[in-house]
Amino acid sequence: MILIDGKKAAAELREELKQEVTELKTKYNKVPGLTVILIGDMAPSQIYVRNKEKSANEVGLKSEVIRYPDTVEEKTVLEKIEELNNDESVSGILVQLPLPKHIDKQKVIETITPSKDVDGFHPMNVGNLSSGYESSVPCTPLGCYLMIKKIEPNLSGKKAVVVGRSNLNGKPMAQLLLKENCTVTITHSRTKDLKAECLEADIIVAAVGIPELVKGDWIKKDAIVIDVGINKTENGLVGDVAFDEVSKVAKALTPVPGGVGPMTIACLLKNTVDCFKRSQK
């Protein structure tokens, strides 16, 4: 079984991006810039943002974090986004979620100009992805996709099952696999027989949030299994896939932690560089 090493894949992607940023600097005499807006002091968000900043600096991006207290008015945040939309030195804007209740998440997402939407959440980017056009793609599914492609470069005709249909993970994941000519089934909480669906799959991506939902006897021999789930349990962090059982059947599997997680941040940097490149065209 191939243990898909997300840390290694992320380090390789960062290295590629670092070289690309150096080349862009020579060509345009400027580097891509990522601005993150962080509202409030929730510990996980603080940690994510610190990691994003560190990784951005590592690959040579210009990075900035704008912090607001969780009492900040929605209007202040929207005005700041408008300002960043018009700032040429900013290639990518990310507003760290979740937001305080008094701030309308969708309004925030839709205020970020699509060409700087490094999270790929703007309806314009969602539509472009589903129409098969160039777009920013949400970072977690993009990371999953890149890892799958490393294991199996030709996905045409493969049967893929995506477990979970969130806007963040399941739906964009399905679109990426469809673009690669997979036959894609999207499953969710109302799916009648999830085991039977999974047993058909050459590729499974599980993004549910239920510890070890996907079992060993749900897996076709030699399937590629990507585990997006991050679940805190008494036994520590586990994914949505029963790792020990599934690793005996699958051809390749991502661990939790150390699989999808590290690639998510690396893909944010990739999206920033890609936004910069599109803006120079």
Task: Give the interface with ligand NAP as residue ranges (CB under 6 A).
Answer: 140, 163-166, 168-170, 187-191, 194, 207-210, 228-231, 260-261, 264
Least CB distance to ligand NAP at residue 147 (A): 11
- Which one, 101 or 281, has the nearer CB to ligand NAP? 101
Q: How far apart are CA 141 and CA 163, in angstroms?
A: 12
Closer residue to ligand NAP, CB minimum distance, 31 or 169: 169
Instruction: For residue 274, give the amino acid letter.
Output: D
Is 101 known to be catalytic? Answer: no
Rounded-to-integer distance, Cα 104 and Cα 191, Å: 31
CA dist 49 and 55 (Å) reads 10
* 39 close to 65: Cβ distance less than 8 angstroms: no
Q: H-type helices in the chain, by residue range? A: 6-28, 43-58, 74-85, 105-111, 123-131, 139-151, 170-179, 194-199, 243-247, 260-280
Residue closer to ligand NAP by CB (options 24, 194) is 194
**Smallest distance from ligand NAP to CB 28, Å:** 31
Nearer to ligand NAP, 202 or 240 (CB): 240
Residue of 80, 116, 117, 119 marked active site: 119
Give catalytic status of residue 96 as yes or no: yes
Q: Which residue has the tokens 């586990």?
A: 238
Closest approach, Cβ 36 to ligand NAP, in A, equals 16
Closest approach of ligand NAP to the CB of residue 39, in Å: 19
Concatenate the DSSP letters of all residues of 137-149 into one string.
--HHHHHHHHHHH
Residue 19 annotated in active site: no
Q: Which residues are catalytic?
A: 52, 96, 119
